[in-house]
Structure 1
Amino acid sequence: MTWQDVDPATHPFDARQASGVVREVLSVPDPESGRSGGLRSDNSVARGLAEYYGSWAFGWWSAVDESPHSGAIIRDLPAGGHGADDLEQQAQRYTSALLQWRAWLEELAATFAQSAPRQDADEEELRRLRERGVAPLVTLVVERTEAGEAWRGPCSTALAWYLESTGMSPGEAEDLADEVVDSEFESWIAPDEEAMGRARETIGEHGA
């Protein structure tokens, strides 16, 4: 998904209604498999929520890994049950996942806003702005994921969304973010100042 797909500013959401929407999704069989609400897969529930809210609401599905060292964005969820008798447990679990994902998107949006370019910014200003935005964003991802095993995936996604928010095309932003993360960051290791400096330099060289 692109930042345009998930930007909270263009996708209204009322957290107070989330549990009711989740219960509504769980109350009907999967339209593809025909499985009842209590037996629907995580992917099926995510698709149901995306049909209601828009594609941004699907994102939590790939952001969940409850292993404490996974490096995922969402690692803390209520226990889930299995089968129709545990629908309430499932509703609590899926509601928590959706709310955590939305909160993460809103936190990213707030971070992006701190480095938002002026409408008339020239290429040099954009380059400097994108360089400055790298460290706060990567630090935020590290704090959230604790630089676990797969933290580089969420980092690459967040960095691509940041670059896109500054006016870069989604394809170019994704390629540049992947280049930075693949070349400068490692699993299990929070980047030091030297690695962060190289990342900023790469963004500055190619980000305008």
Structure 2
Amino acid sequence: MTSVVRLNRWAQVDPTPHPYDPAAALDGVRRLAPPVPPAAPAFPSLRPSDPVAWDAYQRACQQSLEWNTAMTEALVREYGPWASGWGMAPHATWDCWAPFVTSQDETVALVAEQLTRWRRWLEGAADRFGRLLPWLDAAAAAGPDDAVAAWEAAITELLTATVAWVEDDDGWQGRCHRVLTWLLTAAGLPEERSVTLVNQALGSRFDGWVRLSAADVADIAEHLARDVVGPRYGAFAGPGQGGDDWPDTWPDGWPSWRATNRARPHS
């Protein structure tokens, strides 16, 4: 999505300060939408052999991106910054990178549908944050051990819920990155540190196009929880340093990065 802003901070997408009536969304988008560009030509199957068709398709792609940008800017002005992510709604059917070949009315209806899906997803996240953040604050006041446990439970809940929202096995990565970063920034961590910690916790070992397993969720939650609370409480025993001498995820994903009796498979 050619969004107006990066959506790393929860304050950017928190829907709470911005009223929204889904019943009026279609009329609102219809009023705001720029004219839809002409339908794109069919995608050229043999690009070198048909340069005219390929050039036409590229021009249509550019028009599509420009239309998406204009539509996003209009939605943000009307509804608030949260609307900038309308094309990233769960179960999205919108592809901002490809030219659409629908009429003005069909396109407007699809945008309104996507905007409402995105809003509902944000409202669900807001409800969870409203419950989890006071709990995390109370745990932090009780001490680092309670804080780590609370963060681990909160991250586990968010990851489980987020993966459940995603229909395709190859769509969870971006959603998990986004939701976890929102939680950290909502809890007061700086944006840059939040992004770094989430990237480290998810890591390259979760780049495969498969759905997260329960063992994956446990690893991410424990790793990220300890990093959030601080390095002093985030150090795990290394190989040969005692502790749990058996892999934690046997037989799936064995050996775990938490296993202390053998080198970690991922850094």
- Aligned equivalents of 2:79 and 2:133: distance in 1? 26
Q: Is the 8 A contact 2:160 2:217 kept in 1?
A: no
Give the secondary structure class of the aligned counterpart of 1:117: helix
Give the secondary structure class of the aligned counterpart of 2:158: helix
Partner of residue 7, structure 1? 14
Aligned-residue offset at 1:76: 4.3
Return the match for 2:162 from 138, 141, 152. Answer: 141
Return the match for 2:124 from 104, 107, 113. Answer: 107
Q: Is the 8 A contact 1:3 1:161 kept in 2?
A: yes
Q: Is the 8 A contact 1:74 1:101 kept in 2?
A: no
- Aligned equivalents of 2:76 and 2:214: distance in 1? 39
Q: Deviations over 1:112-144 (max 9, x none)?
A: 233222556426244332211111111112112
Partner of residue 27, structure 2? 20
Aligned-residue offset at 1:92: 0.8
Whichever structure has more helix as a proportion of its residues is 1
Identity rate, percent:
24
2:108 aligned with 1:91, yes or no? yes
Q: Is the 8 A contact 1:184 1:198 kept in 2?
A: no
Partner of residue 204, structure 1? 225
- Aligned equivalents of 1:127 and 1:167: distance in 2? 16
Aligned-residue offset at 1:81: 4.9
- Aligned equivalents of 1:196 and 1:138: distance in 2? 7
Aligned length: 185
2:60 aligned with 1:43, yes or no? no
- Runs of 4+ with >6 A deviation: none
2:86 aligned with 1:60, yes or no? yes
Structure 2 regions of 5+ residues with no counterpart? 1-6, 38-63, 95-99, 230-267
Return the match for 1:158 from 162, 172, 179. Answer: 179
Q: Is the 8 A contact 2:197 2:227 kept in 1?
A: yes
TM-score, with length taken from structure 2: 0.62
- Aligned equivalents of 1:187 and 1:178: distance in 2? 15
**Residue 138 of structure 1 aligns to which amino acid in structure 2?**
L
Aligned-residue offset at 1:75: 2.6
Bigger Cα displacement from structure 2, 37-46 vs 92-101: 37-46
- Aligned equivalents of 1:164 and 1:153: distance in 2? 17
Structure ranking higher on relative contact order (CA contacts 8 Å, 6+ apart): 1
Structure 1 regions of 5+ residues with no counterpart? 30-36, 65-72
Aligned-residue offset at 1:205: 1.7
The CA RMSD over aligned residues, in Å, is: 2.3
**Residue 58 of structure 1 aligns to which amino acid in structure 2?**
S
Q: Deviations over 1:120-175 (max 9, x none)?
A: 64262443322111111111121121352242011101111012222222222221
TM-score, with length taken from structure 1: 0.78
Q: Deviations over 1:51-94 (max 9, x none)?
A: 21122101122x16xxxxxxxx23347xx753xxx222112111
Partner of residue 233, structure 2? none
- Aligned equivalents of 2:205 and 2:127: distance in 1? 25
Change (3 A) 1:184 1:167: farther
